[in-house]
Structure 1
Amino acid sequence: MEEIEVVVAHSERATLRVGDMFLKIDADQTRTDVEVEAMALAPVPTPEILWRKPPVLALAALPGTALGRLGQPSSASSAAWAAAGAATRMLHDAPLPPWPGRSLDEIAARLDGECEWLVTNGVLPADLVTRNRRLAEAALRPWTAVFTHGDLQVAHVFVDGDEITGVIDWSEAGQGDALYDLAILTLGHEEHLGDVVAGYGTDVDLDLDLDVIRAWWSLRSLLAIRWLVEHGFDPSSPGCEVDVLRSRL
């Protein structure tokens, strides 16, 4: 019997590692449906699906290690970060998935609700929330939809040396803003934004698009904090969401 490692576990889903296999257990099978279809459509390396018996999805482990972790310095090379940018560009150039993403109105409404909750419950100072809410507005503009991963955080991108070996956790994939994926990939790792953009391509203008990427940093952090708190995670850990919001001031 292989030793079982609990990778993540909360009330919505759990991921276990058994040897070279990951078992993902999700209470919402719609998320698993999206993950399976997105991996089939994505033109980048993804984990091999070993079997699926709802509510369990079994995936083969990817070679290599995560590009980084939120709140920790990344030991990955600049070339690896550039490769992550190139892989993101391949995804964004692919045909759109057949299901829609979140609308601007949905995102704006949720942002308003989360900001109100953060202030009303004394989770964050009102001025910190207000300032970041104002910064986040730059992200709330029309965009040309592309195939987005939807949760492209550094822990979901695996590398071996300078090469991308795969991207995991596709349950949030859909049609969305290309700059959102770039923002989530560099959240808490601003020092690697130039590497990512270099790999992604020349149509990202740091002079024009950096404000939008920064806006997504604020917006993503504001939206994430309540969920993290309610599911047993600490967004105030060094380098994590609360520090990201403070760094915007």
Structure 2
Amino acid sequence: MARHLIQGRAVAMPVRIRHATVCTAAYLVRADAARAVIAYSGMDVAEVLPGRTVCSLAFVDYVDGDLDAYHEFGVTFMVRPPEAGPAARKGPVKSLAGLRRSGAGVFVHWLPVDQGFTLEAGRTIWGFPKELATIDLRLSSPYKRCVVRKDDRLVIDMLVKPGVPVTAAGATFSLDAYSHLDGVTRRIPWTVSPRGIRVRPGGALVRLGNHPVARELSELGLPKRAVMTAGFARVAMSFEEAKET
């Protein structure tokens, strides 16, 4: 079993998250604008409609896992695998299962966290672009809210409205996450088992601040109506060893 030494502590692979609460919003954005944002990675976005790709915003409360408890916010893009041929034009991918069937993966562009151990683990083990930020999660009401500040500047204030319950008993999805750090692109096999799922069209309110990441999101056309939002009351995950692509 592979192990990584992080701050004097051995972290065994795969890393397991036993309980996390997740809220996410997916947006259709211009593919050319998204390509400009992730050009540093050498990866290409997946076009779910001609000239359009998916940018997702997510906030997560990690309650119990191998990297301890922490809060996280993520900006991700749907991407084509590095070995893929010419992009196929398909209809919108509406679920994790549909994402996997499409052959697309998730590129993690920005991933602030609020604890130092997961910061070092994420960067060292998988090359995730984790950085420290202040992440205020308000999850006690049906309306879930996340406020992210970095360097004393507001990045984003995001509210997710409650959706309609969806039954997915026993569902487990496997997909590939991609990262790029210090000139290296990595593929990370990722397994997700969600429970307590609520989904709705639209459903997100976003206010952007004056941080550079906020300006990037503005250049993608945000704030705008989300294609869909989803809330997951309890999610289990596992992250395998990263492989350079």
What is the TM-score normalised by the length of structure 1? Answer: 0.27
- TM-score, normalized by length of structure 2? 0.28
Between Structure 1 and Structure 2, the one with more strand by share is 2
